[in-house]
Chain A
């Protein structure tokens, strides 16, 4: 075994190794030598060995065999050995190791050592890796040191106490009185430690916080001393007197002044003074100013002071130094909720920061911009955000896309703008959007019936250009399937007319079907769309038939199943094909937390961008199930109603689709209970042109109400397509059951009943607005009524 060498030589040897393998060899030899040395009795070079081991540990090699040696070194009387031993303890030991218990006694002895440096070593190690038991054992010692020792030890003991309090919260009471008395010290190091200790104590316990509020005058005094006093060479950093202490005290003042008028008043003058007197040309000055601003905004300060604070932040935003701009935006983020208007004034600068090269600044600017979007500035902000999306770094794309969707959802000035925006996002960042985007977009499109033509044209063109963005392709396929006839017609008011033949459409869909870029879900969409087109277009039905039969032997089980069923639809059930593939009715939005029967057991998922789109197989599976149902020979003439199975964030008015008895056949759904209708008070809410609507309600539970609407027709013409839609105030939940029918024969021969279940947990004043639509004598009639009072028992 090679003789041990002092630390420097070993380092030189390691550095001269040219390859990783050589280095490992050197280190292994050294470690073997060190281990042998450890086993030997006391010799002069012990501290060197441990130092070498610690160096090796830093490079990443295992060094656990040194733990016992650390324990032995700490117990040694020599200072050099103690020093390395404690350093080793901090690096190698932690509270989970058994060896750490062994040093408790040594630390205890060293805390009472005559030499202050030995005491400081012990304090340092305890603060670094002290476990809960060690802290409990040694807390009285620390308290003693806090009271009676020199300032060097006091400041270390204060920080050690912070560590103890963090580990064992009950010991906070032990240190509270001592902490208070430490505020009278002159030494800045001790003051600093005391302020940190008090901050920690206040953070843990609200009663302690109340007690420490009495120290606010003392703290204000200390701060004044720091700010006003002349040049003091020992504490000066670039012209400011001990900025670190100032920052700490300001932070503590913030905690003490929060939600407390009296304390905030005491601080107002001081904060104003600091804000105006501090020199902001250097970083230290900015640090103090920044802390002051945060404190002003967090406590109950007077309005003049708040304005001053926001102005300082505005100045920070225009600063050339990127660091300052970064933290200005961080603090603006914190206050954008409370002082929204003040932050809006700086919107221009913030939006400019979106174009900064620095990724950190961009991220902050993005978060802040999204928080600043409002109904007035939505158009200009969206332009900027979309520009940002096309050039932003990939890690921010998902966040930006979802933020844009939320903003568009809340503040869209027009439907067309909304659709355009979503399409734009899908084309630029389609791979990073949430799974729910596709059903949300589809829902939006079906709701804006006047723009169907425009939408389908736009989507068709986007599809021709690029079929790699899956979400975009899915939406496009769905729309082409639904509105293919509008596409073929060719004329559209909003965009330039383009001649699209049926073959072109089918070509596009086939490309999607065959491309290797398409995911299985997308293929499913394309196949269903092709099938739907068989009723919309007239010439190429045979082509469709052949496409569908090809996929009857596809490897993908899902596609195969669909193709086989569609084939069956062509062959055996051709008479039903038209009815099955009719236009989808308008999908109505779900209220959040209201899982409609269709989404069988699908939980509301958290949003993760790049994952298998589980929403889509569900969506598509429902279509298949619906078809299966009809093929199974249900007598219901109703069209299958497809409800979106995802949650739409914050819709102002919530209605849910009528479940329909069809859905009971899907199995595993919430059973729709039919309560017995006991005679309940009725009132007539609508009577016009021979159509009468009466309402009766019955209390179900503490907050639930069952409302029954009955309609009758006293004219002598048949009424068809009779539908009711209802809207209630925001906090009330509404669930509409299936209507008993949709046609009213003349002269009151039969009635239509519709049951609505309301849940009013907040007990707000119940109002309902009902829209009635029906067709009589070939023309459609629409009317809206508002019900302000409900008859109750």
Chain B
């Protein structure tokens, strides 16, 4: 099971934080800080697996992370997930973001946090991997966005009628 998915930049500012287990707000922030500390100390050419910190769980939990340009993508998982599989999942996630946002960069993630959440909801649900096929995910996300746009359009047009 995936316990948490965190995206933060090189200075530790959170860009996305999704927890699949409940923690208080303070604990969540502490977890983000602690994870950042653990991950930022790592060299470039070491392996992508880290033993987890104290807060997010005991010895069963690992941090699997990937560093892309200015962002760290960190998945905190327990032993029931395949480590290499999660690494690939991170890759699929980033590629999907790239397709949706057209050459995604950190600013895209900053200003469209809700969209990133929606994309993530199509991939991981309740801490479990839902869908890994990039095209399928993008199709669903596009359909949902279309629905939303259609609603706002209707709403605006009804307003104009008055």
Contacts and interface: CB of A to CB of B under 8 A. Distances in A.
Contacts of A62: 25
Contacts of A124: 121, 125-126
A11 B109 CA distance: 11
B161 interface: no
Given A156-B125, A247-B82, A323-B48, A60 B25 contact: yes
A465 interface: no
Interface in A27-71: 44, 51, 54-55, 57-60, 62-63
B130 A188 contact: no
A291 B46 contact: no
Contacts of B151: 78-80
Given A287-B85, A323-B48, A234 B135 contact: yes
Contacts of B110: 11, 15
Contacts of A323: 47-49, 83-84, 87
A242 B131 CA distance: 11
Contacts of A155: 130-131
From DSSP, what is the main secondary structure of chain B's interface residues? helix
B130 to A, nearest CB: 6
A345 interface: no
Interface in A92-106: 94-96
Interface stretch (A159-167, A565-573, A765-773): A159-167
Nearest to B129: A244
Interface string A135-166: 00000000000000000100110011011000
- Tell me whether chain A's interface is mostly helix, strand or loop, or mixed: helix
B160 interface: no
A11 B111 contact: yes
Contacts, number: 152
Which of B48, B136, B155 has the most A CB atoms < 10 Å from its CB?
B136
B148 A79 contact: yes
B94 interface: no
Interface in B108-162: 110-111, 113-114, 117-118, 121, 125-133, 135-136, 140, 143-144, 147-148, 151-152, 155, 159
B130 A235 contact: no
Given A58-B17, A247-B85, A291-B82, A96 B49 contact: no
B45 A322 contact: yes
Interface in B89-119: 89, 92, 110-111, 113-114, 117-118
B120 to A, nearest CB: 10
Select the residue from A58, A115, A361 with max chain B CB neighbours within 10 A.
Answer: A58
A325 B84 CA distance: 12
Contact of A237 (B43, B50, B88, B113): B88
Contacts of B14: 58-60
A774 to B, nearest CB: 55
A83 B148 contact: yes
A358 B47 CA distance: 7
B51 A83 contact: no
A283 B85 CA distance: 9
A785 B140 CA distance: 84
A84 interface: yes
A698 to B, nearest CB: 50
Nearest to A118: B147
Contacts of A83: 118, 144, 148
B128 A55 contact: no
A117 B47 contact: no
Interface residues of A, number: 69
B155 A44 contact: yes
A58 B32 CA distance: 10
Nearest to B15: A58
Counting chain B residues whose Cβ lies within 8 A of the other chain, the interface size class is: 35 or more
Nearest to B88: A284
A128 B126 contact: yes
Pick from B14, B29, B144 the residue with the most CB of A within 10 Å.
B144
A360 B88 contact: no
A117 B144 contact: yes
Given A54-B114, A95-B22, A322-B47, A327 B128 contact: no
B53 to A, nearest CB: 12
B23 to A, nearest CB: 9
Contacts of A79: 144, 147-148, 151
B46 A322 contact: yes
Contacts of B140: 117, 152
A242 B92 CA distance: 12
Contact of A188 (B45, B133, B148): B133
B45 to A, nearest CB: 7
Given A322-B47, A326-B47, A357-B46, A156 B130 contact: yes
Interface string A163-203: 10000000000000000000000001100110010000000
Contacts of B89: 244
B130 A234 contact: no
Given A95-B22, A322-B47, A361-B47, A127 B126 contact: yes
B5 to A, nearest CB: 12
Interface in B8-42: 14, 16-17, 20, 22, 25, 28-29
B87 A57 contact: no
A234 B133 contact: yes
Given A80-B151, A287-B82, A159 B22 contact: no
A87 interface: yes
Nearest to A359: B46
Interface string A274-307: 0000000001101100110000000000000000
Contacts of A87: 114, 117-118, 121
Contacts of B16: 58
Given A235-B133, A284-B88, A291-B82, A159 B128 contact: yes
A376 interface: no
B132 A127 contact: no
A189 B131 contact: yes
A380 interface: no
A286 B20 CA distance: 28
Nearest to A51: B114
Interface of B: 14, 16-17, 20, 22, 25, 28-29, 43, 45-51, 82-85, 87-89, 92, 110-111, 113-114, 117-118, 121, 125-133, 135-136, 140, 143-144, 147-148, 151-152, 155, 159
30 contacts: A58-B113, A60-B14, A60-B29, A62-B25, A79-B147, A80-B151, A87-B118, A117-B140, A117-B143, A128-B126, A160-B126, A162-B126, A189-B130, A192-B129, A192-B130, A192-B131, A193-B130, A283-B84, A322-B46, A322-B47, A323-B87, A326-B47, A326-B49, A327-B83, A357-B46, A358-B43, A358-B47, A359-B46, A360-B49, A361-B46
Interface of A: 7-8, 11-12, 15, 44, 51, 54-55, 57-60, 62-63, 78-80, 83-84, 87, 94-96, 115, 117, 123-124, 127-129, 152, 155-156, 159-160, 162-163, 188-189, 192-193, 196, 234-235, 237, 242-244, 247, 251, 283-284, 286-287, 290-291, 321-323, 325-327, 357-361, 363
Given A192-B132, A287-B82, A290-B82, 15 more contacts: A79-B144, A128-B125, A152-B140, A155-B131, A159-B125, A163-B128, A234-B135, A237-B88, A284-B88, A322-B45, A323-B48, A326-B49, A327-B84, A359-B46, A363-B51
